[in-house]
Amino acid sequence: MITDLNSLIRLTKAQIKPTAEMLARAFQDDPLFAYFISDALDRKNKLHHIFERLIRYGVLYGEVYAISPNLEGVAMWFPPGRAEMTMWRTIRCGGFSLYFKVGRKVVSKVLGFFNYAFKVHNRHAPFPHWYWGIIGVDPKFQGRGYASALIKPMLARIDQKHLPCYLETNNERNVPIFQHYGFEVVEVGTIPGTSVSNWAMLREKSC
């Protein structure tokens, strides 16, 4: 069983594309990404483009860890002050090219969500904290404890620094999982113009 970050693989730029393809499989039926790209076949063909930009952002400005070089599962985390997608950071991560990959309508939905999510984020975590961005396990490897192996070492590290951690999820099934790791719901809302719910969750700093 993996017990520390040294047992995980920290992603590099060379692993961004295969990681994005894995996450696209993992999130194919997720409510948020189904809102971004409503047609299932279209989503299957295009979702990896969105994840490629997100993971590139994580590699550049945060920390992205995998179970192994086979990328069975990955988790993305941001230290204090690094989570916000500024214009320059978006450009550097190839955000503008997304218009040509998935279309203006999809990009508009993605930007609308992030604008909403960061307002909620800033409202509930205006202090130094870690931000847990993404966790995903390839569907063929789910149920084997990989998610726990990705989560526990980082939360232990955050506890050592006595810092809180914030996340959001758009899938109600995930809420009790995150609660198991000490996160509490601080706000439940609906993304404007959609029927997609958003659970903002915070894990208080350790004493």
Mean pLDDT by 10 residues, the chain (207 residues): 76 96 97 97 97 94 96 97 78 80 93 94 96 96 94 95 97 96 98 96 88
Q: Is residue 109 part of a domain?
A: yes
Q: Is residue 88 part of a domain?
A: yes
What pLDDT, on the 0 to 100 scale, is given for residue 1?
Answer: 45
Q: Is residue 100 part of a domain?
A: yes
Q: Is residue 105 part of a domain?
A: yes
What pLDDT, on the 0 to 100 scale, is given for residue 92?
Answer: 77
Number of compact structural domains in the chain: 1
By residue count, the chain amounts to 207
CATH code for the domain of 72: 3.40.630.30
Q: Is residue 97 part of a domain?
A: yes
What pLDDT, on the 0 to 100 scale, is given for residue 86?
Answer: 74
What pLDDT, on the 0 to 100 scale, is given for residue 205?
Answer: 86
Q: Is residue 56 part of a domain?
A: yes
Q: Which long-range contacts (CB under 8 A, 24 or more apart) does 64-67 make?
A: 64/10, 64/11, 64/19, 65/5, 65/8, 65/9, 65/10, 65/11, 65/150, 65/154, 66/8, 66/9, 66/10, 66/11, 66/15, 66/19, 67/2, 67/8, 67/9, 67/146, 67/149, 67/150
What pLDDT, on the 0 to 100 scale, is given for residue 185?
Answer: 98
Q: Is residue 186 part of a domain?
A: no
What pLDDT, on the 0 to 100 scale, is given for residue 87?
Answer: 72
Task: Please give the model's pTM, rounded to 2 decimal places.
Answer: 0.93
What pLDDT, on the 0 to 100 scale, is given for residue 3?
Answer: 55
| Residue 119, domain extent | 5-150
